[in-house]
Amino acid sequence: MGLRKIKKISLLIAYVLAIYIVFPNNAYAMHIMEGFLPFNWAAFWWIVMIPFVIAGVRSIKKTVTLHPSLKMLLGMAGAFAFVLSALKIPSVTGSCSHPTGVGLGTILFGPLAMTVLGMIVLIFQALLIAHGGITTLGANTFSMGIVGPFVSYAIYKSCKKLGAPLWLSVFLSATLGDLMTYITTSFQLGLAFPAASGGVMASALKFMGIFAFTQLPLAISEGILTVLVINILSAYSQKELQFLGVFTGKELPARKQGVKA
C-alpha cells in the first residue's frame, strides 16, 4: 500500500469519525444492547456465531500467509467498519440507526473474514463506547458479521457475473448488505419479543418500520462511501485488488497507466 493511498483513506475515515463525534451518541442504537435479549436467545445466537468465527479465522490466516502485505489492508477494512458502525444517527423514535461498514471488508476478503472483523469491532464498541454488549455479541455478530457480509458477497459476485460496472457492483453490495443487517436484527428482536397480536412477523415489521426512515438513506450513503474507498484502492493498490479477485485490471486501464510504480 502506497503512502499517498494510506493518507487518502485515513483522511476519509477521519472525516467519518468527525461526523460521529458531532452527532449525539447517548441514544440506543440498532446493535442490540447489553442484557436486552432473554438468556435463551442470547445463548442461541452465540452458538450460531461460533462456527462462522472459526471458519473466518482460518480464512484470514490463509490469506495473510499467502500474502503478508495484505495485513495493513485487512486492518483498514476493520477500522472502516468500526468507524461507520459507531456513527449513530438519531431516529424518529428516540433510538438511532447507523451504517455497518461491512461491505468493504467483504468485497476485499470475503464474508468469512468479515465475520471475524465484525466480531472484533463489536467487542471494542461494547467495551469502549457501550454500543451493543457482550451478552448480545452473538446476535449482533450474526446480523452485522454474518448475514450482512454473506448478502454483500452474493450480490457483488452476482453483479460481476452479469458484467455490471465495478462501481455499481460495489454500491449494491454495500447498500443491500447494510439493509439486510437491519432486517435480520428486526427478526431477531421479533423472535425474542413476539407481538401479542401477529406474533413474530408483526413484531419484526414494527422494528423494521422504526428504523426505515433513517436506515434507507444511511445504506445508500454507505454504498457511495464504499465506492469512493474502492476507487482510491483501485488507483493505488491494483496489485493487491487483483490478488484478492476484486477486479481483473481491465476495468480501469486508463487509471492504471497513470499510477507510478
What's 146's DSSP letter?
Answer: I
Q: Which three cell numbers stand for residue 16?
A: 467519518
What dotted CATH number matches 38-67+96-248? 1.10.1760.20
* Mean pLDDT calculated for residue range 207-227: 85
Identify the helix (H) or strand (E) that includes residue 140: helix 137-141
Answer yes or no: are the C-beta atoms of 20 and 87 closer than 8 Å.
Answer: yes
* Mean pLDDT calculated for residue range 151-161: 94
* Cα 158 to Cα 123: distance, rounded to the nearest angstrom: 31
Q: Which three cell numbers stand for residue 155?
A: 450480490
What values do phi and psi take at 199, rounded to 5?
Answer: 65, -145
CA 153 remoteness from chain centre: 11
Identify the helix (H) or strand (E) that includes residue 208: helix 199-236
Residue 13's pLDDT is what?
53
Q: Name every residue whose Cβ is closer than 8 Å to that of residue 185 and which is 6 or more positions away in sequence.
A: 30, 32, 139, 140, 143, 207
Looking at the predicted structure, is the pLDDT value of residue 78 above 60? yes
Confidence of residue 2 (pLDDT cuts 50, 70, 90): low
Answer yes or no: are the C-beta atoms of 245 and 227 closer than 8 Å.
Answer: no
Burial of 51 by CB count in 10 Å (0-12 exposed, 13-18 middle, 19+ buried)?
A: exposed
Write down the pTM of the prediction.
Answer: 0.81
Q: Name every residue whose Cβ is closer than 8 Å to that of residue 32 and which is 6 or more positions away in sequence.
A: 132, 133, 136, 139, 140, 185, 188, 189
* Cα 198 to Cα 181: distance, rounded to the nearest angstrom: 23
Burial profile 210-224: b = 16 or more Cβ within 10 angstroms, e = fewer: bbeebbeebbebbbe
Residue 62's pLDDT is what?
92
Residue 16: count other Cβ atoms within 10 Å of its Cβ. Answer: 18
pLDDT digits (tens, 9 = 90+) for 105-147: 999 999 999 999 999 999 998 888 877 889 999 999 999 999 9
What values do phi and psi take at 106, rounded to 5?
Answer: -65, -45
